[in-house]
Amino acid sequence: MSTSDLKNRIDTLYFTVSTAGHVDHGKTSLLRGLTGIDPDRLKEEKARQMTTDLGFAHLRLPAQTVKQSRPKVDTDIVVSFVDVPGHGKFLKNMLAGVGGLDMALLVVAADEGPMPQTEQHAKILSALGISRVLLVVTKCDMASPAQLSDAVARSKELLQQVELTLVDVAEVSNVTKSGFPDLIEKLINALVDAGERESARLNAAPFLPIDRVFSIVGYGVVVTGTLVKGAISQGDNLLIEPGNIKARVRGLETFNTSVASATAGQRLAINFSLKEGKALARGQVVVGEQCSPTSTLIVEIGQPGVKLEENFREHVLGQPARIYHGTAECQGAVRWMEDLPAEPTGKRSFIAQITLFDPLIAEPGDRFVLRYGDEGLAGGKILITARPRWITRERLVSLAKLLAANSKKEAALEFLKANPQGLLADAAFGCLLPPLLLPVIISELIDSQKLARLSSFVLSPETRKNLFDRLVAEVENAAKTGSESPTDVRNSQEALRNKVLAGLDRTAFQEIVREAIEKKLVTRQSEKLLPAKEELLQAPDEVKDLADKVLPILKEHICLELEELAKQTGTDKRKVQVALQHLSKEGKASVVAHDFACTTESIDAAHKQLSKIFRAKKDIAPGDFREAVGTSRKYAMALLSYFDDRAITRRVQNGRVLLKYPKDEEV
């Protein structure tokens, strides 16, 4: 956010800054002069005076110092510096150090100007989307004014060529320390202008790419990295992916200082207690919630700068390549490429599919670098992290082009449209929408009525209406074509759910059912759905006539077998079942325990007897119930089975408990 918006509500602003530049241009000496910390941690680095792996240092700028440059900012600033190797042989370590950065210091010696590794590092920064660069010209005490001017001019030209934003220029000497106060002021201004991290990133699940792994005797395994998202505290249970390794945080340190918790932007060392004996390695990610590794990436790929290498497609397509993402280095291959429209500047890029030989953790919108051949360098942005089986190649390219043009809402709608069922859970959009943007985009599409919600799914308003209309039509059709037999399941909720949309989530289906009931288009009877239109519920005359014979007989008994009803009415059992189904619709009688029938009055009376027994004894024994209703054990057990099935009673060791009292009784 802007300087004027920074408030006192936070005590410290955390930033991560990387060095970049040619070997022996003074990157490590610069950090040593700024922080007083030697980032070279390996013996061979100190012996050779050359950084071969990642080094780390930090600088705490108290609020008083910060206010001298930016009076409206009243917070401390902590800068975590990542010192990366400059030698070409150690390029992969440089790549591992420039993920999750707020800015980079491009270090150029005044007496030499930009060199091969300077250009290569600048291209990597551009490919990874780290566009903000503070140019630091070192060795100013060893260069003439003409050399200094030439070094600055050529550096600016390089930054412009690879599309990096120059935020400022600082001229220093690591030996005499001249220019360091000016560098610190320019660093403060550049970081404050970069803005505070958005609250969504601070509140997200933890995400920390691992760049170092080592063990300490008596403590166990320790990993280091920059916390890109979320917060981590001592005692947290986390996961390490790929590998689904469960780990508990035993301790946290930031630059040799123990802390109880940390937030996004901080450089951390985490002491883990692992629940499995699996080895950890650079390239894995510490996460707060389970996430699926991917082996297929759909990307936008190109080269930093305006012009592509000649025969770029032929040099990249199908050839072995190394992909650098976060702190991970993976082997892979580019399987196919599709041209994107050329930009007005003439710059070209492609949509491509990269197949990885080993899976990694990636999110849409992440940047990556691709190395091919001996010196080839390309990079770009991950657009889609997985390829659903129902997405055709043509549709996939169309989606990728929308994402490359930053048309994320249109891509989400196109993705949903491609789904055979026309509805998806929110999480399904995670393969093409960045996690922090996904809920925002879905919410905005719903607010604009381009999407609708159905339980935990989203779908188009047209699809939702079609599902609703199909439910009502299927309920009416089942009523027209089905029989009155209780064994006819055509109007059961499960059968109707499969007709409306096979595999539709039950919760989502019930939401449509509730809406249909509220609109008085459908009624629910037990597990069946019936049309609310009276004319569709009319039974044939012969069924009504038989029901008129059955009901008086039932009123003379507490309970009666269906076979006995068939005998007394001079018909067969199947027709009696149909008549009872009609009586059930009218609320006059019910089938109990499959082979018995009772009037509604008998069932209500039996329910009241259950209540009396339970109030008196807090237990319902079958014998007590049989005596209370004055019937045989056979009929008493049939009624008890009916109450059990409807969760009115529940069986316990020697009897039953009452779960639901009669409607006209107070509990």
- Tell me whether residue 663 is in a domain: no
Q: Which residues of the chain have pLDDT under 50?
A: 1-9, 40-53, 86-91, 94-98, 483-487, 535-537
Both structure tokens of 238: 């986390």
Question: Do 157 and 176 fall into the same domain?
Answer: yes
Task: CATH number of the domain at 70, please.
Answer: 3.40.50.300
pLDDT of residue 272: 92
DSSP letters spanning 99-145? SS-SEEEEEEETTT-S-HHHHHHHHHHHHTT--EEEEEEE-GGGS-H
Cα gap 67→525, rounded to integer Å: 72
Cα gap 328→208, rounded to integer Å: 12
pLDDT of residue 54: 53
State whether residue 2 is helix, strand or coil.
coil
Cα gap 60→15, rounded to integer Å: 10
Cα gap 619→651, rounded to integer Å: 10
Cα gap 456→232, rounded to integer Å: 29
Question: Do 174 and 38 fall into the same domain?
Answer: yes
pLDDT of residue 39: 55
Q: Residue 252: in which H helix or E strand, if any?
A: strand 245-254
- Contact between residue 182 and residue 170 where contact means Cβ atoms under 8 Å apart: yes
Neighbours of 213 (CB within 10 A): 17
pLDDT of residue 49: 37
Both structure tokens of 274: 């692992």
Cα gap 574→562, rounded to integer Å: 9
Question: Do 616 and 475 fall into the same domain?
Answer: no
Task: CATH number of the domain at 486, please.
Answer: 1.10.10
Question: Do 20 and 67 fall into the same domain?
Answer: yes
Cα gap 221→272, rounded to integer Å: 6
Task: CATH number of the domain at 353, please.
Answer: 2.40.30.10
pLDDT in tens, 360-371: 999 999 888 888
- Tell me whether residue 498 is in a domain: yes
Question: Do 173 and 241 fall into the same domain?
Answer: no
- Tell me whether residue 282 is in a domain: yes
Question: Do 138 and 31 fall into the same domain?
Answer: yes
- Tell me whether residue 547 is in a domain: yes
Pairing type for strands 165-171 and 132-138 reads parallel
Cα gap 182→168, rounded to integer Å: 11
pLDDT of residue 53: 39
Both structure tokens of 60: 């705490």
Q: What is the number of structural domains in the chain?
A: 6
- Tell me whether residue 592 is in a domain: yes
**What residues contact residue 446 under an 8 Å CB cut-off, 6+ apart?**
452, 453, 458
| Domain stop point among 537, 572, 593 | 537
Cα gap 138→179, rounded to integer Å: 9
Question: Do 121 and 259 fall into the same domain?
Answer: no
Cα gap 411→406, rounded to integer Å: 9
Neighbours of 200 (CB within 10 A): 13
Question: Do 170 and 31 fall into the same domain?
Answer: yes
Half-sphere exposure of 517 (CA within 13 A, CB side): 12
Residue 13 φ/ψ region, left for φ over 0, alpha for ψ in the -120 to 50 degree band, beta for the rest: beta
DSSP letters spanning 430-486? GGTS-TTTHHHHHHHHHHTTSSEEETTEEE-HHHHHHHHHHHHHHHHHHHHHS-S-T
Question: Do 352 and 402 fall into the same domain?
Answer: no
- Contact between residue 532 and residue 520 where contact means Cβ atoms under 8 Å apart: yes
**What residues contact residue 96 under an 8 Å CB cut-off, 6+ apart?**
54, 211, 282, 283, 324, 326, 327, 328, 329
The residue type of 521 is L
| Domain stop point among 515, 537, 559 | 537
| Enclosing domain of residue 301 | 294-386
- Tell me whether residue 304 is in a domain: yes
Question: Do 145 and 206 fall into the same domain?
Answer: no
DSSP letters spanning 471-489? HHHHHHHHHHHS-S-TT--
- Tell me whether residue 309 is in a domain: yes
Question: Do 129 and 87 fall into the same domain?
Answer: yes
Task: Return the residue matching tokens 């013996």.
Answer: 43
pLDDT in tens, 544-579: 899 999 999 999 999 999 999 999 999 988 889 888
- Residue 137's φ and ψ, nearest 5 degrees, are -95, 115
Three-state SS annotation for 181-244: HHHHHHHHHHHHHHCCCCHHHHHCCCEEECCEEEEECCCEEEEEEECCECEEECCCEEEEECCC
Cα gap 346→245, rounded to integer Å: 47
| Domain stop point among 287, 313, 332 | 287
- Tell me whether residue 392 is in a domain: no
Question: Do 221 and 349 fall into the same domain?
Answer: no
